[in-house]
Amino acid sequence: MTKFVDLTPTLGTEILDLDLADDLDDATAATLQRLLGLRGLLVFRDQAKLTPERHVEISRRFGGLEVHVQKRYHHQAHPEILIVSNVVENGAPIGLADAGKYWHSDLSYLAEPSLGSLLHAQELPTDGSGDTLFADTRASYDALDAATKRRLVGLSAEHSYVARNNAQAAVNPDRRIDESTAAKVPPVLHPVVRAHPLTKRPALFVNEGFTTRIVDLPDAESRALLDRLFAHSIEPRFLYRHQWRAHDLVFWDNRSTMHLATGCPANERRTLFRTTVRGDRPIAYVPAAAEIAA
Ligand code: OGA
Ligand code: MN
């Protein structure tokens, strides 16, 4: 594995000479883990030979795998695979149709949110639509002014799957969940700025999709601060737009990026398989005094 191309100055690296269907030795796996931490996103092209079984196996090299709370979207043979798809068969969608049409970090609503996700393209729209946008939440934190960084020190925010799902279910009844499913994903609190476990670099960890409020702030203040952080973190300078090619596999770091599905027209077919690697409880980032000096 020697051919790398950086996608933006801070975010994303394309790896041109690795077939994930072949054996992955420990040294290469360790390099990939480090690269993911440094670059936030890895793109592997032409992964045509990668079977669902091998996708699961490769993903396990980076940690335990999550099984999505909504069973109906699981791959039948491999529950660790979440099917992301707008395809309807026999009147029922074969996967999660509206996955991520809002900015989010996968599973930020868990007490131990995901480390990263591996998304493998199966069938793509023929009209070139269906891009996924990624935002570098380290770069957006770094770019904040010192006064805002001071304000964020010690703040925590609430993340809720149920709040998001209820909003989606209002427009897509297929997403309704029962109380026992909802009870598995109670709201959780996370630091607003987290330190990456490998690089120790700070990253903003609030997202439009799952973050409902900043705790210990009055509602209006919490709303205003979140809206400002959301708007700031998706400025074009922090983004990478992934245009999917046949058999791409994209591995992103949920600790230092957010993403958004731009979607495709209903008459196009788009199906991808996702595995989601388990992560640790986020650790709050504490800036050095000089970093936030007035
Ligand atoms: C996901 C996701 C985006 C897309 O699979 O986690 O957000 O463009 N997908 O399908
Ligand atoms: Mn997602």
CB 81 within 8 A of CB 89: no
Residue 148, domain CATH: 3.60.130.10
Tokens linked to 9: 């100055």
pTM greater than 0.85: yes
Confidence of residue 92 (pLDDT cuts 50, 70, 90): confident
Instruction: Give CA separation, 96 vs 50, 83, 183, 246, 280, in Å.
Output: 21, 6, 20, 20, 25
Structural domain tally of the chain? 1
Active-site residue identified among 75, 194, 196, 274 = 274
pLDDT digits (tens, 9 = 90+) for 21-46: 999 999 999 999 999 999 999 999 99
Active-site residue identified among 68, 78, 104, 242 = 104
- Report the pLDDT value the prediction gives residue 167, as an integer from 0 to 100: 81
Binding site membership of 272 for ligand 1 (Cβ less than 6 Å): yes
- Report the pLDDT value the prediction gives residue 204, as an integer from 0 to 100: 98
pLDDT digits (tens, 9 = 90+) for 239-256: 999 999 999 999 999 999
Tell how far the Cα of 252 is from the centroid of ligand 2, in angstroms.
10
Binding site membership of 84 for ligand 1 (Cβ less than 6 Å): yes
What atom of ligand 1 comes closest to residue 132's alpha carbon?
8
- Rounded average pLDDT over 260-285: 97
Which positions ≥6 away from 231 have C-beta within 8 Å? none
Q: Compute the distance between CA of residue 137 and CA of residue 198 in angstroms, rounded to an integer.
A: 15
Which residue would you say has higher pLDDT here, 124 or 183? 124
Confidence of residue 100 (pLDDT cuts 50, 70, 90): confident
Range of the domain at 260: 3-292
Q: Mean pLDDT of all residues in the chain?
A: 95
Binding site membership of 292 for ligand 1 (Cβ less than 6 Å): no
117: β partners: 252, 276
Q: Is 219 a catalytic residue?
A: no
Q: Is 46 helix (H, G, I), strand (E, B) or coil?
A: coil
Dihedral (CA of 240, 251, 64, 55) sign = positive
